[in-house]
Amino acid sequence: MCGITGIFHFDPSRAVNEVLLKKMTDTLFHRGPDGEGYYGKNHIGLGHRRLTIIDLTTGDQPMFNEDKSIAVIFNGEIYNYIELRDELKKLGCKFHTNSDTEVIIRSYETWGTDCQNKLNGMWAMALWDERKNQLFISRDRIGEKPLFYTVYDGTFLFGSEIKSILAYGCPRVPNLELTELYLSLGYIPAPYTFYKNISKLQAGHYLIVSQNSVQEKKYWDMPEIDEENMTSNKKQVYETFENLLKDSVRIRMRSDVPYGAFLSGGLDSAGIVFLMSEISKEPVRTFTIGSKEKMFDERKLAAQVAEKFKTDHHEYMIEQDGFDEAMQKITHHFDEPFGDSSALPTGAVSKIAAQKVKMVLTGDGGDEVLSGYNSNLVEKFVEQYQYAPFFLRKGMPGMVNSAANLFSGGSRYKLKQVAKALSFSNETFGNRLMAKSWCRPALAKELMLHPEKQIKLSDFISDFFSKYPIKHPFYQLMFFQFKVLLPDDFLAKVDRMSMASSLETRVPFLDYRLVEYMARVHRDVKMEGYERKSVLRNTIGKRLPPALLRAPKKGFSIPLREWFKDKAFEPKLQSLYNSDFGLDQKVIRQITEDNNSGKEDFGNLIWMLFVLKRWMDDSQ
């Protein structure tokens, strides 16, 4: 795991400024505190920060082939590098290190850019081919590792984080037309960033940068599915799923340094810890984050897993007192507005884990692979609800909403969520998807001072599904989760907050073999009736503590709704009302009042407004 950055002048006579290259690389110190390396020749410059995980003594980067006509810098891990090295040796390749980085070089020499299809791992890499006078830049299939780029002043610039590009001197020009998308989704979807002229390389894509052009191409996408002929043999699915997940965990435990696992009270991380404990000869180190709010605290369930599998267990509590410090950390490490508040506990658990290990496995991706979100359950429900008489469907939302007003706190919130889901049961899937946004379209229109200048969520969603003409809402949601939500929110969150503490995270559920196979599994196998994660429950789940199988789903989140009701936050809320960042201050005040009165849960939306304000202040 590392940080990479680089400079490519389109004018071959223009030499790279080594001082600037080092300045760009230094911004990524936290991603690789164990070492640095540079390559500079004429108009090309590559910078690398290293976090040592595999091949501690001979894996330094940039790494070269024998005549130095190829130079590569690489952020990530290639998990099947041992198998690939054996295959390449049989083809006549010679190796001088035990590094997965050298496997990339030999793979490129053998297969060219098609080498991407041979790799099983997570990566963002840049390979300079001197003979072709071109830069080959690739990002992994699912988007675990980030890569940003721009063309500025006759120069192509790239980096693992936006801050490395800004260090070159690229201007900080906010892309304010993305404000509605940010407040709706909670993040900035690729290929956009919140800076004009700076882009995210999309997952499964690569760039060829030459003297005359920057070409972006796709090498991988979600598999095409036949909605009328999905895999429905349960026995076959269970067996294949378990075998693929076991192998995914096995190859992700390859490491030359101490490692562990993030452990929540959920099935996904518990399943990973179980499989690790079967493979490891020593107790698995596990790390859990807790909260004083019982609704968000999973320490008891995590402790049961730790006890059952005899792990070396560590707990940590997240406190409200760290709000200002957390805000500063998030705006610094994401470089653009990022509104997923679960970045806070992710950062906290990463910090304690990094004191004990250099790498962890996580349960991320399980909900996407297994269609385990509540939103997946809603789509299953809507499919059945359509058969109810129209008068019942029309009147039910109002009845549930009225009932919600008889309660308070979490019960009221849950019932209002049910009423909202019912009210959208007759809508199109696109409308239901927008209804799940943090800032619903009608509220966004009120909030924006100039809504006509915004890229609308509805247009973004329409454009997305024009590329994936899938018919059934259950599978439409699956594709949206994999192509947008996962890479741009959840994986971005885990990458930035773990790397902030120089900790590598590996995600067994996102092995591309598992992703491709499960994408073709029928919805009724993934979710028997309304049982979430039926495939996991009927395989790995049978070895887990029974309490986990009975527990309701909890997100990895914090009680923001309650935090902002605290009088201690009133001065901070006043700062929102008095800020000028393109939003209607009266609407902001109404949002906070509705949250604090219990009328709505706007906790995460208020958090997102704080993040946006902080980012705008820092960008002045």
Average pLDDT of the segment spanning 25-39: 94
Length of the chain: 620
pTM for the full model? 0.93
Query: Hunting for tokens 């990339």 — which residue is that?
Result: 104
Query: Could you give the angle at the alpha carbon of 484 between the alpha carbons of 227 and 372, nearest 5°?
Result: 60
CA 154, CA 60: separation in Å to the nearest integer? 30
pLDDT tops 80 at residue 388: no
Domain with CATH 3.60.20.10 in the chain: 2-218
Please, which residues have CB within 8 angstroms of residue 154's CB and are 6 or more apart in sequence?
9, 10, 11, 14
Ramachandran category for residue 255: left, alpha or beta (phi over 0 → left; psi -120 to 50 → alpha): beta
- Is residue 416 pLDDT above 80, yes or no? no
Say whether 170 is catalytic: no
Tell me, what's the pLDDT at 380?
Answer: 87
Are 287 and 316 spatial neighbours (Cβ–Cβ below 8 Å)? yes
| Range 574-591 average pLDDT | 88
Determine the average pLDDT of the residues in 353-361: 96
Q: Which two tokens stand for residue 78?
A: 């290639």
pLDDT band at 472 (very low <50, low <70, confident <90, very high): very high
pLDDT at 398 over 80: no
Structure confidence at residue 59 as a pLDDT band (50, 70, 90): confident
323 phi, psi to nearest 5 deg: -60, -55
Of the candidates 101, 100, 203, 221, the one whose C-alpha atom is nearest the C-alpha of residue 147 is 203
User: Has residue 321 got a pLDDT over 60?
Assistant: no
pLDDT band at 303 (very low <50, low <70, confident <90, very high): very high
Superfamily (CATH H level) for 234-370+476-550? HUPs (3.40.50.620)
Which band of pLDDT confidence, cut at 50, 70 and 90, is reported for residue 484?
very high
Give yes or no for residue 53 having a pLDDT over 80.
no
| Mean pLDDT, rounded, for 277-288 | 96
pLDDT band at 105 (very low <50, low <70, confident <90, very high): very high
Spot the catalytic one: 2, 115, 170, 439. 2
The least confident of 320-334, 390-404, 584-598 is: 390-404
Q: CB within 8 A of 49, min separation 6: which ones?
A: 2, 3, 4, 25, 28, 29, 31, 32, 33, 35, 36
Is the per-residue pLDDT at 414 higher than 90?
A: no
What average pLDDT does the structure give for the chain?
91
- 64: tokens are 């070269």
> What is the pLDDT averaged over residues 539-550?
94
Query: What are the residue ranges of CATH 3.40.50.620 in the chain?
Result: 234-370+476-550
pLDDT at 464 over 60: yes
Which pLDDT value is given to residue 254? 95
Residues with Cβ < 8 Å from 430, sequence gap 6 or more? 458, 461, 462, 465
pLDDT of residue 436: 85
Query: Is 2-218 a CATH 3.60.20.10 domain?
Result: yes
Res. 605 pLDDT band, cuts 50 70 90? very high
- Structural element, H or E, at residue 278: helix 267-279
pLDDT surpasses 80 at 33: yes
Three-state secondary-structure class, residue 154: coil
pLDDT at 393: 66
Beta bridge partners of 548: none
**Which tens digit of pLDDT belongs to each residue from 177-220?**
999 999 999 999 999 999 999 999 999 999 999 998 999 999 99
158-186 pLDDT, tens per residue? 999 999 999 999 999 999 999 999 999 99
CA distance 32 to 410: 42
**At residue 441, does pLDDT exceed 70?**
yes
* Residue 54, pLDDT above cutoff 80: no
Q: Tokens for 544?
A: 């887990």
Q: What is the pLDDT of residue 381?
A: 84
Task: Name the phi and psi angles at 567, rounded to 5.
Answer: -60, -25
